[in-house]
Structure 1
């Protein structure tokens, strides 16, 4: 599904921040991405989401070389990916419900076909009483759960989650992890960037460890 071959990335004329990354992310796989702060985890997640292009090497997404994909086709490919950014990227003028439903609206689906699914998912992430609240009123942990629900609502082929449990308490972290595991069982490939070793210990999954721009993989 995703193939990296000798990928490197630098900003401007500076040194490479990612070097010689070669790995595959198979369909229906589950992996954690970890490493010290500043190692480049968020940068790698942006490459996976195609919001950055490498300065060298090959990246293939869904059997297509991203270096030759026309810019107007990238949004269509990104719709196959659910992503949870650390800055959440919620729309402040939309309610919790509307933010989560947005990917389905963009696809042209009728509200009657998805309303119950959105409401059920918001209940699952503990936001059943916050459906009609605007993001500025939400806490950081609540915003994070809205972003997670939005990423999951359309059952993407790939889920990229950058520190998805960083602002929630341990019981909610376990609940969210269970949600990711269930999504994976349904066929979604999952990549979770995290510093939380205890979270990783709860799942038998591949670990991708990024350090000083290099990636080591432990199956």
Structure 2
């Protein structure tokens, strides 16, 4: 599903911030991406999403070499990926419900075909009473949950989540993790970037991708 071969990244003429990154993500797998603050976790997620090119090395997504893809092809591949970044990227002029439903609207689906599913997902993430308000009214944790719901509504083949439980209380964090596990059990590969060791320790069988000093270490 994802393959990195000797990938390196630098900005300008500076030293490489990621060096010789080699790993793959198989279908139907669950992994944590961890490492100290500033290690490059978000950057690695952006590379997986093909949101930026590497300085060197090879990245393939769903079997496609990123170097051979034009913008339209990259856009088509990204539709298979659900993404939760820390800046949320909600549209302020749309309600919570409309933000979550947006990926379905882009596909020109009739609202009647997805209304109940969107409302149920919003209730699951604790936003059932906030679906008709606009993002500026939401708290940081509520925005985060809306972004998670939007990423999940398409049932993506691959989910990338950057600190998805960082702004919620422990009970809701456990509930969101159950949702990620359900998505994984239904066939989605999941990558969760986090520095929360206690959270990771609850999932002994999950693979860990550990970034440090620009290099990636893998613990099965």
Between the aligned partners of 1:188 and 1:39, the Cα distance in structure 2 is 26
Q: Deviations over 1:133-165 (max 9, x none)?
A: 000000000000000000000100000000000
Between the aligned partners of 1:212 and 1:2, the Cα distance in structure 2 is 22
SS at match of 1:15: coil
Between the aligned partners of 1:111 and 1:49, the Cα distance in structure 2 is 28
Q: Say whether 1:189 aligns with 2:185.
A: no
Q: Deviations over 1:144-191 (max 9, x none)?
A: 000000000010000000000000000000000000000000000000
Specify the alignment match of 1:76 in structure 2: 76
Specify the alignment match of 1:174 in structure 2: 174
Point out the more displaced range, 104-113 or 86-95.
Answer: 104-113
SS at match of 1:33: strand
Specify the alignment match of 1:17 in structure 2: 17
| Consecutive aligned runs of 4 or more in structure 1 exceeding 4 Å deviation | none
Between the aligned partners of 1:106 and 1:11, the Cα distance in structure 2 is 34
The offset of 1:72, in angstroms, is 2.1
Describe how 1:84-99 pairs up with structure 2 within 5 A. 84-99=84-99
Specify the alignment match of 1:216 in structure 2: 217
Between the aligned partners of 2:62 and 2:76, the Cα distance in structure 1 is 12
Between the aligned partners of 1:109 and 1:5, the Cα distance in structure 2 is 38
Between the aligned partners of 1:17 and 1:206, the Cα distance in structure 2 is 23
Between the aligned partners of 1:19 and 1:134, the Cα distance in structure 2 is 42
* Runs of at least 5 residues in structure 2 that lack an aligned partner in the other structure: none
Please, what TM-score do these two structures have when normalized by structure 1? 0.99
The offset of 1:75, in angstroms, is 1.0
SS at match of 2:53: coil
Q: Say whether 1:3 aligns with 2:3.
A: yes
Specify the alignment match of 2:66 in structure 1: 66
Specify the alignment match of 1:153 in structure 2: 153
Between the aligned partners of 1:133 and 1:91, the Cα distance in structure 2 is 12
Specify the alignment match of 1:205 in structure 2: 206
SS at match of 1:13: coil
The offset of 1:116, in angstroms, is 0.3
Point out the more displaced range, 39-48 or 64-73.
Answer: 64-73
How many residues are aligned here? 219
Between the aligned partners of 1:216 and 1:97, the Cα distance in structure 2 is 39
SS at match of 2:172: helix
Between the aligned partners of 1:108 and 1:77, the Cα distance in structure 2 is 18
Q: Deviations over 1:96-116 (max 9, x none)?
A: 000000011111211111000
Between the aligned partners of 1:95 and 1:154, the Cα distance in structure 2 is 18
Please, what TM-score do these two structures have when normalized by structure 2? 0.99
* Runs of at least 5 residues in structure 1 that lack an aligned partner in the other structure: none
